[in-house]
Amino acid sequence: MTEPSFPSVRLNQGIHVIHLFYRIDRVRWEQAGASTAKQTFSRLEALCAANSAPSQPRLVTFTNICGKADLAFIIYAADLVQAAQIHRDLENCFPAGTLQRVFSYFSVTELTEYMPTDEDNKRLLIEQEKLQPDSEEYKKRWAELSRKKADYEHYRLYPELPDWEVMGFYPMNKRRQGGDNWYMLDFAARRKLMGGHARVGRKYAGRISQLITGSTGLDDWEWGVTLMAHQADALKEIVYEMRFDEVSARFGEFGPFYINLRLLPAALWKHLHL
């Protein structure tokens, strides 16, 4: 038999992201026996080690809190085929029938259309900071803003989320009902609203590291929100404060919330008594 070939499927920019949540069928797990459990652990640990780049390819392991699931994983990969293969290799680590998928979410990293443009930065320097375009101070500030913009774009497209202790995830939509139809607002109105929304989020710098991925036309929701934190109260506070922002209060629709602990495979095994 000839070796099968697979296509390479990449985005114009950005990477693919898969969130996976599973329960363990404890009856089947116990029936599989201790030796199988040990083999499963070895396979999972090896798969994580093989996919441990700062951005991608990357497989990150968690345990879910409060019983919605037992195991949670995030897969990052530039190539769609590679993302799909890591997913299948992950499930293949476990004995047949022991994993029950609770929720899955496929999305891609993307740039927001509301981010400052070069023209916005020029207006900021000239109209607000009153700098002359041919001055050294203008050139210095322009270089700072350009570097900040490039760093932001790179992080959005090729994220390197920190290995903080707590991960929260939820999918969301923008409402499309009557007078509260986000997509019937003109761009200027949407951009103004999102500017206020972003200012709330920036207040949590150092407490929350955030990744927004898009899935319109790819999954059942439009965006996925992944929040990394050191403490659960930071997640609670940012989501609560966002509730009073018009973008969320008027136009936001939210799916299930999953709160998870970041655990490496060895700690995961001990925590779940596997």
Residues whose CB is less than 8 angstroms from the CB of residue 24 and which lie 6 or more positions away in sequence, other chains included: 70, 71, 98, 99, 100, 272, 274
Domains and CATH numbers, the chain: 16-110 (3.30.70.1030)
Strands (E), 78-125: 99-109
Per the listing, tokens 């018009």 go with: 246
Cα distance between residue 99 and residue 12, in whole Å: 34
Q: Is the CB of residue 62 less than 8 Å from the CB of residue 90?
A: no
State the catalytic residues.
170
CA-only gyration radius of the chain, Å: 22
Task: Calculate helix-pair angle for 232-243, 187-202, nearest 10 degrees.
Answer: 150
Rounded to 5 degrees, what angle do the CA atoms 129, 130, 133 make? 105
Q: Is the CB of residue 71 less than 8 Å from the CB of residue 182?
A: no
3-class DSSP assignment, residue 30: helix
* C-alpha distances in Å from residue 157, one per residue of 8, 50, 117: 19, 22, 17
Predicted TM-score of the model (pTM): 0.93
Q: What is the pLDDT along the chain (274 residues), one digit of tens a residue?
A: 677 888 999 999 999 999 999 999 999 999 999 999 999 999 999 999 999 999 999 999 999 998 999 999 999 999 999 999 999 999 999 999 999 999 999 999 999 998 888 998 999 899 999 999 999 999 999 999 999 999 999 999 999 999 999 999 999 999 998 889 999 999 999 999 998 888 888 899 999 999 999 999 999 999 999 999 999 999 999 999 999 999 999 999 999 999 999 999 999 999 999 9
